[in-house]
Amino acid sequence: MTDEFTGKVVLVTGATRGLGYAIARGFAAAGATVVVSSRKQDACERAAEAITSETGVRADALAFHVGRWDTITPAVDEVYSRHGRLDVVVNNAGIAPLAPSLVEVSEALFDKTIEVNLKGPFRLTAVAGARMAKAGGGAVVNISSIGAHRPSPPEAVYAAAKNGLNALTMAFAQEYAPRVRVNCVMPGAFATEMAAHWDEEFVHKVVDRLPAGRLGEPDEIVGMVLHLASDRAGYTTGAVIPVDGGRTAVY
C-alpha cells in the first residue's frame, strides 16, 4: 500500500466488479477515499465493504444510473456533500451487448448502449469536470475499448460509443485545461467475469492474435489508470492509451 492518493476522493463508476472493482481497490490501496458506484446500492455496499476490508481504507457506496442524465448532477452533489471534494473521476461503467446482425439491432438496444457508454460519461465529465476546475484541479480517466479501433459487426454500436468516448476525451482535455486533465485507457481482452462466459474456441481466437499470448488480469490495468490520475502524469492530457497485450499493434 502507498499513500500517493491519501486525502483524495475518487469516484469510480461500474466499480462493483471486473476492471472497475480492480481500479477502485487500487485507488484505495494508494490511500484514496473511493466512492464505489454502480446501479444497485446493495452491490455498491458489498464492493465498498470488501475494498475496505482488503485495504484498510474506508470506501464509500453511492448508487446511481450513469445512463440517466438527470441522475448525474445529484450524484456529484452527493459526493461533495459527503466528502467536501472530488479529485478523480473514472468513467468505467459500460455495457457491451452483442447482436446477431446489425439489421437486428433494436432502437432500444442502440439507445441503451449509447446512453451508458457515451452519454453518461459525457454528462459526468461535464458536471464533475466543471466543479473540479472551479476547485483548482483534478483528473478524469475514461475507460474505452480497443473495439473503438478494432470493431467487429456484433459489437458495432458498443465500438461506436467507445470511439465517441475517445473523441470526448480529447475535447474535454481542452475544455477544462489546464486545471483538469482528461485521459483515456483502451483495454483489450481481460479475464473478468464477462470473459468467464466465453467458450474455449472464442478465447483461443482472442489469445491467438495477441502478442502477449494471454488475457490480461484486471490488476494489470490499475497501474496505468493510477498513473494517469496522479501528479506524475501532470503533462499528459487528451491521451488515448491502449492496454491490450499488443492487440492494436496487429493488423
Alpha-helix residue ranges (DSSP H) falling in the chain: 18-29, 41-55, 69-83, 107-114, 120-135, 156-175, 200-208, 222-229
Provide φ and ψ at 240, rounded to 5°.
Answer: -125, 110
Q: Which residues, in sequence order, are CB contacts of 124 under 8 Å at separation 6+? A: 13, 66, 72, 75, 76, 89, 91
Single out the catalytic residue among 80, 158, 235, 251. 158
**Measured between alpha carbons, how far is 230 from 248 in angstroms, rounded to an integer?**
25
Q: In 3D, which of 164, 159, 168 has the Cα closest to residue 89?
A: 168
Note whether 90 and 30 are within 8 A (CB).
no
Does 235 qualify as catalytic in the annotation?
no
Catalytic residues: 158
